Amino acid sequence: MMIIMPLALPNKIGFSSPFLYKPSTTRGGGGGGGGSSCFAFTCRSVSSLTSFTWDGVVQASQADYAPNDSSDLSGFFEKIKYCNRGSSEIKSEFIPLVIEDQIVGYIHNGFFYNYLRRFKDVFVFVPSDSRFGTNVTLNKTLSTPEERTRVVGKVIECLAEEEKELIPGIRNELYPVAPSFGSPPYFSIERAAATYFGIKPHGMSCVANLIKECEEEAGIPLSLSNQAMSVGAVSYVDVDGYRYERGVLFCYDLELPGGFIPKNQDGEVESFKLIPLENVANVIRRTHFFKPNCSLVIMDFLFRHGYIGPECLGYLDLLQSLRSGDTS
């Protein structure tokens, strides 16, 4: 038996894999075609947003649960649509956050006027700029990454104390703020607030993150995790209220020994289940058991290993939609 685990790393500090981890993202899967059976580890998270049982997952994954949907991609398109919420009209309500003549994020007009405008010693509204048009920047007196991190952190802390529901989930975990992948950070921001500033966070290296999270989420030792192969990335843009999420998930494939049993180390995963990959694809297509952005990585794996083929109506549209976001 072969077990392959497709892994994904967001371009933020957290690690994700849709098959291993439901409310963030974790994946496991196997190659398509050929005669060998391929299986994927799926997992149920302790803090899962959707309630389900493994019996329900197994039932929904069976071929006879919906016998005529093997070439129907509509369920996959539904997950793509959910990850890319927000019309162009809604996106126009966000204005660039500019630091040192570089766009590092986007802030909703309402969020600025209702919450940030009063912090005039921190945030500066620029009504017109020849390069960026209307934008928001930081006060020029904040000239170092350390100063910016400290002062912006105070603002976020203040807002979180005043309105508990505005920025929930404060965890004192910082995301570096940079204009593009691999660029030096201009400052760092509280993880829970990152989407309110349209930040594409960049943390530790993908490989270091992969090794760390493989061990924490599934007890995968370094001797196995360092064999993971980089296979690309998927992206999306999700606009919801004041939040503007520019997500990029870096994808890795990891083939595991047939006898490997994942064991969570950090208390964030309740249990694991080994399921044939074709059945995992059915669960993704038919249900909402997995977090939507986890589904993007699974779909990418299904394309690359022949489980979704060009005979399916909408093949090219679905393939292109896996990279709907900004990958700069």
Mean pLDDT score across all residues of the chain? 82
Contact residues for 224 (Cβ-Cβ < 8 A; gap 6+): 214, 254, 256, 257, 260
Task: Report pLDDT digits (tens) over 34-61.
Answer: 334 456 665 655 444 456 777 777 777 7
Q: Looking at residues 126-147, what average pLDDT do you find? A: 92
Task: Report pLDDT digits (tens) over 91-116.
Answer: 889 999 999 999 999 999 999 999 99
For residue 19, what pLDDT is reported?
Answer: 36
Task: Report pLDDT digits (tens) over 7-16.
Answer: 555 443 233 3
* 292-304 and 74-83 helices, crossing angle to 10°: 130
Pairing of strands 2-10, 38-45: parallel
For residue 38, what pLDDT is reported?
Answer: 57
Which residues, listed in sequence order, are joined to residue 108 by a DSSP beta bridge?
94
Pairing of strands 102-108, 123-126: unpaired
- Model confidence at 322: pLDDT above 90: yes
Hey, how many other C-beta atoms are within 10 angstroms of the C-beta on 34?
Answer: 11
For residue 25, what pLDDT is reported?
Answer: 35
Of 146, 328, 168, nearest to 243 by C-alpha is: 168
Task: Specify burial of residue 222 (Cβ count, 10 A radius: 0-12, 13-18, 19+).
Answer: exposed
Percent of residues, the chain, with pLDDT higher than 70:
81
Task: Report pLDDT digits (tens) over 153-178.
Answer: 999 999 999 888 888 888 888 889 99
